[in-house]
Structures are given as C-alpha cells and as structure tokens.
C-alpha cells in the first residue's frame, strides 16, 4: 500500500498571500496524483488530477506540480473561499487508492 503524507498539518495564511502545500508518496506514483478541497460539511471537490491538470471550473490561482514522490499544490493568492482542508490522493498503484491526511489552510 502506498502511504501518502502531507505537510504542514495546518497552514495559517493571510488573504492575498501565497500558500504552498506538500504531499509525499512512500513510493513513486509517476504523475498519478490528485488534489481535493473540502470545506466543513461538504464533500471533497476535485481541484487537480494528473499532478498538474486543473479540473473543470477550477480557478487558475490553483496549480499543481511534481512527479514521482514529491508534489506541491500552490494557491497563488488566497481568497476567502479557499480556506479549507486539502487532500492529495494517489491512483498509480492500487488497490487500495490512498489519500493523505490533509492540510488545513486557515486564516492568519
């Protein structure tokens, strides 16, 4: 099973600032990596797949990068609606499909 880790656990950012979230896989997953955003009481929402392809309707301030074992999600200028928990998920080697534990982005 591929284990996913994320850092930091919590990221405190001011609106308008840049946020960089990290995700690491215990073994190489090529570019088979997705990012999701989850707000309280809601289901996760797909932001990025293929490590760097934005899903339909996702604003360009969200960008994904990386391959192999190291990945980043960058939010270039945080808006109020971006404060949420972000999860990465690998789909390279499964079953099982596995998620990271999440990074909470909150208001500084």
Partner 1 sequence: QVQLVQSGPEVKKPGSSVKVSCKASGDIFSDYTFSWVRQTPGRGLEWMGRIIPLIDAANYAQNFQGRVTITADKSTNTAYMELSSLTFEDAAVYYCARGPLGADNYFDSWGRGTLVTVSS
Q: Is 94 a binder of partner 1 (CB under 8 A)? A: yes
Q: Is 66 a binder of partner 1 (CB under 8 A)? A: no
Q: Report the residue from 19, 21, 34, 73 that binds partner 1 according to the rule CB under 8 A.
A: 34
91 in Cβ contact with 32 (< 8 Å): yes
Q: Report the residue from 22, 28, 45, 63 that binds partner 1 according to the rule CB under 8 A.
A: 45
Q: By rule CB under 8 A, what count of residues binds partner 1?
A: 24
Side-chain-facing half-sphere of 24: CA atoms under 13 Å: 6
Cα(19)–Cα(25) distance, integer angstroms: 20
Q: 6 or 78, CB closer to partner 1?
A: 6
Cα(67)–Cα(77) distance, integer angstroms: 24
Query: What does the block give as tokens for 57?
Result: 């309707």
Which residues would be at the binding site for partner 1 (CB under 8 A)? Answer: 32, 34, 36, 42-46, 49-50, 55-56, 87, 89, 91, 94-102
């Amino acid at each position: 099973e591929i284990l996913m880790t994320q850092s930091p656990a919590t990221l405190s950012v001011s609106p308008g600032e840049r946020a960089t979230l990290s995700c690491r896989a215990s073994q190489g997953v090529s570019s088979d990596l997705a990012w999701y955003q989850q707000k309280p009481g809601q289901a996760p929402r797909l932001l990025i797949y293929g490590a760097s392809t934005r899903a339909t309707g996702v604003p360009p301030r969200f960008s994904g990068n990386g391959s192999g074992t190291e990945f980043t999600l960058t939010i270039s200028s945080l808006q109020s609606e971006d404060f949420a928990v972000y999860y990465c998920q690998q789909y390279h080697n499964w079953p099982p499909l596995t998620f990271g534990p999440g990074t909470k982005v909150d208001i500084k």
